[in-house]
Chains A and B, each alone.
Chain A
Amino acid sequence: MTHPIIRFDHATFGFPGTVALEDISLSIPESEFVGVIGPNGSGKTTLCRAVLGLMAPIRGTLRVLDCACEELRCHHRALIGYLPQKGMLDRNFPVTVLEAVMMGRYGALGLFRRPSGKDRDIARQALTQVGMDHHRDSALGALSGGQQQRVFIARALAQQPRILLLDEPTTGLDLTAQHSVVELIQQLHQELKLTILMITHDINMIRSRVDRLVLLKTKLFAAGPPQDVLKPEILSQVYGKELVITDKDFIIVEDYHHHH
């Protein structure tokens, strides 16, 4: 096993009086593609914010890129590409696709330095990698939801990151767009050997693509290859009895299974 790029050691996160994630121990080696699943409020986004250094553990430790997460400095953060949950984007926000992707260079550039031709080339290359270079002069707001997600992935890639953190990248997209975004992420993982942490509710979409699944419900419930985590006895403890695994290995809600 290669050296872990992210290591939680009995780490607990939260605010005084409320615990969002408790006693997490988990090592993620470089170049691994990890899917993070769990019900709403299970601490998935907290995990993400912790890795970004936006939240320090109240007990235990978290080391990211060989640095304690509470000491992550701007130059460390610049090595973590982050795709936040899809918010309500103001469709009129005046930013072109290339301008939005160029923002990915700003952290690494540092204060007072203007982007150079090389930064522009890196941004263009990131747009090419997500298949959006021909839209570089378009208004971001004029693109479809799936295209916007590709642009935000390009923004993260423009950081030339070692870790890619994706918080529900397919939420709010239509089925075709969901599929193409997940395919793109898998392809980027294979080509760039990035360490990827992808938070998702779409277990069926990622189960065949990730190296490992991490199942959260305030605690780390299970972590391992998808076939070891997606077992009825484990899932029922986290999601309740409603989830069932069909004969074709699809995980669905039981009501649906009965009626169809």
Chain B
Amino acid sequence: MLELLAYDFMQRSLLAAALVGSVCSVIGVFVVLRGLAFAGAGTAHAAFAGVTLAYLLGLPPLSLAIVFGLATVWITGWVEEKGRMKLDVSIGILYTATMALAILFLGLMKTYNPEVYGYLFGSVLSVTTEELLTIGGLSIAVLGTILLLSKELYFIAFDQEMAAASGVPARQIFYLLLTLVALTVVIALKTVGAILVFAMILIPASTAYQLTHSLTQMTLYSMLIGIFCAVTGVLLSYAFDLPSGPSIVLLATSLFFLAVCCSPKRLHRIQTE
């Protein structure tokens, strides 16, 4: 197995997987606790629509992925804030509309472009040095922001109105969280793909949620699970010639079910009932 690490492409893939695993799993803690799971899934599909349009126009794919991702996540936040319609309905509409756009843009391309499909299904083994630098830069920005504002992010995840009433600029922090979700989706797009990126945000955090009663511990566990699944998933996919995205996500899903079965919280509840 060790000789694998001698290959440049494998070093890039493992580094990209570790970065994506850590960023997704850390932002996932706030997404799970704040109840934004579906919003993230919608953002991933919107970002893919951005990628397809960028290919159509000959622009860098991640640039429009960011624009589409941010627009979707901000509209979602605005709708939730105004309470004009139920969040699942508004996201459902945006989700399918952006997917329809993506299919439309794909249809407008005259030739089959395998690179675009790489963003849909993920292709971590083909990550280039430039892409790795983009992933690295954005990862540092997202994780750094979370580190600087973790106390406010935890508070709005717990209770946004209480946070606002206590003097925390809760609304601004909420929109910042949405922005970080969109950036995270873009970071992970190439590695795990638009369809599966949200699993990487949701599953490690949900697994950690089963294991602890402490916010800080949940974040730490989620990060370790995210990195472990991403790196091990890449190695498994190479060893057994499997697609990388599904390998990572299915490994994470297995850990999730294991955690549900062995959850100290659940066992404690069964004992007390």
Contacts and interface: CB of A to CB of B under 8 A. Distances in A.
Contacts of B152: 106, 111
A54 interface: yes
Given A84-B161, A100-B158, A94 B209 contact: yes
A104 interface: yes
Interface in A45-87: 52, 54, 74-80, 82, 84, 87
B213 A82 contact: no
A78 B214 contact: no
A106 B158 contact: no
A45 to B, nearest CB: 11
A78 B168 CA distance: 8
Nearest to B169: A74
B132 interface: no
B168 A107 contact: yes
B166 interface: yes
Contacts of B216: 99
A72 to B, nearest CB: 9
A99 B151 CA distance: 10
A114 B167 contact: no
B218 interface: yes
Interface string B205-237: 000010011111110000000000000000000
A99 to B, nearest CB: 6
Given A100-B158, A112-B148, A106 B168 contact: yes
Nearest to B213: A139
A107 B167 contact: yes
Nearest to B208: A94
B242 to A, nearest CB: 33
Interface in B164-195: 164-169
A11 B165 CA distance: 20
A52 B215 CA distance: 27
A237 interface: no
A92 B166 contact: no
B21 to A, nearest CB: 20
A103 B265 contact: no
Contact of A82 (B149, B162, B209, B214): B162
A107 B166 contact: yes
A94 B215 contact: yes
Contacts of A112: 148-149
B159 interface: yes
B155 interface: yes
A108 interface: yes
Nearest to A102: B151
A52 B161 CA distance: 10
B67 interface: no
B265 A106 contact: no
Contacts of A115: 151
B163 A103 contact: yes
B73 to A, nearest CB: 22
Contact of B166 (A96, A103, A140, A142): A103
Interface in A218-237: none
Interface string B33-45: 1000000000000
A147 interface: no
Nearest to A52: B165
B165 A114 contact: no
Residue in B167, B217, B218, B268 with the greatest tally of chain A CB atoms within 10 Å: B167
A78 B169 contact: no
Residue with the greatest number of chain A CB neighbours at <10 A, chosen from B149, B151, B164: B151
A94 B165 contact: no
A251 B13 CA distance: 72
B154 interface: yes
Interface string A86-99: 01000011111001
Contacts of B161: 54, 84
19 contacts: A52-B164, A52-B165, A75-B167, A82-B162, A82-B165, A82-B166, A94-B33, A94-B209, A94-B214, A95-B214, A95-B215, A96-B213, A99-B215, A103-B155, A103-B163, A103-B166, A106-B168, A112-B149, A142-B213
Interface of A: 52, 54, 74-80, 82, 84, 87, 92-96, 99-100, 103-104, 106-109, 111-112, 114-115, 138-142, 155, 159, 165
Given A78-B167, A95-B215, 9 more contacts: A74-B169, A76-B167, A84-B161, A99-B215, A104-B166, A106-B163, A111-B152, A114-B151, A165-B165
Interface of B: 33, 148-149, 151-152, 154-155, 158-159, 161-169, 209, 212-218, 265, 268
